[in-house]
Each structure stands twice: as C-alpha cells, then as structure tokens.
C-alpha cells in the first residue's frame, strides 16, 4: 500500500476498526495476485487523501483474512464495501472508475 492513509483491516481488528468506527468506512477486499486489485490501488490511495478525516479507508487481504470476506459474501475481488454505523451501505465489485467510488463514498457522508 502506497499511502499511509490507507489502513490494513484484518479478521482480528475488523470489528473494532470498521464495525465500531464513528465515521463511514470503505473496505477494499483484495489479494496480491489480483491484477484488477493492483490497478485500483492508486485510486484507493487518492480517495484516502481526498476523504481524509471524513471517511476511513482500508484494505482486507482475502488470502490472509478469509473469515471477514466470507461474512460479507465477497465472491469476487476487488469488492469495495461501504460501512456506516456497523452496517453495509452499498458495495461495488470490480475495478470501477474513481467517479463511481466517489459516489459510493458520498452515500455514507
């Protein structure tokens, strides 16, 4: 992860960092071998800077943390899920344009 504003979420910290967060949280479910996930990395970094202080943005490596993706029905990656108040607001699957991700985030603001 290139940006220090993009957090790492795990099975161990997901409840605390995402579900109990006071701000909206965008979670990127990804894997190191996934080319579309890699293509999305600079976009996620940009969004973390753009929405810094308003939305928490982080990634869950599905290979290292299989429990959390299973709970949320993640079948393909990248899957981006927006949480607010511990609940799923909406999600997108695939390497979507930045504008679609901005629209997704704005649903939580």
Beta bridge partners of 88: 83
Question: Among the options 21, 34, 93, 95, which is catalytic?
Answer: 34
Q: Using an 8 Å Cβ cutoff, are 83 and 107 in contact?
A: no
Q: Report residue 103: phi and psi, to 5°.
A: -65, -40
Q: Is 17 one of the catalytic residues?
A: no
Q: Taking the CB of residue 52, how many other CB atoms lie within 10 A of it?
A: 12
Question: Among the options 18, 37, 47, 60, which is catalytic?
Answer: 37
Radius of gyration for the chain, computed over Cα atoms and rounded to the nearest angstrom: 12
Q: Is 34 one of the catalytic residues?
A: yes
Give catalytic residues, as residue numbers: 34, 37
């Amino acid at each position: 992860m290139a940006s220090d504003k993009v957090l790492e979420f795990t099975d161990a910290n997901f409840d605390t960092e995402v579900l109990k967060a006071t701000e909206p949280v965008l979670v990127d479910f990804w894997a190191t071998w996934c080319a579309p996930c890699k293509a999305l990395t600079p976009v996620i970094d940009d969004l973390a800077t753009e929405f810094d202080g308003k939305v928490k943005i982080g990634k869950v490596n599905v290979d290292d943390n299989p429990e959390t993706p299973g709970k949320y029905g993640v079948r393909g990656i990248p899957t981006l899920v927006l949480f607010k108040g511990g609940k799923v607001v909406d999600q997108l699957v695939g390497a979507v344009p930045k504008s679609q991700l901005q629209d997704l985030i704005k649903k939580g603001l």
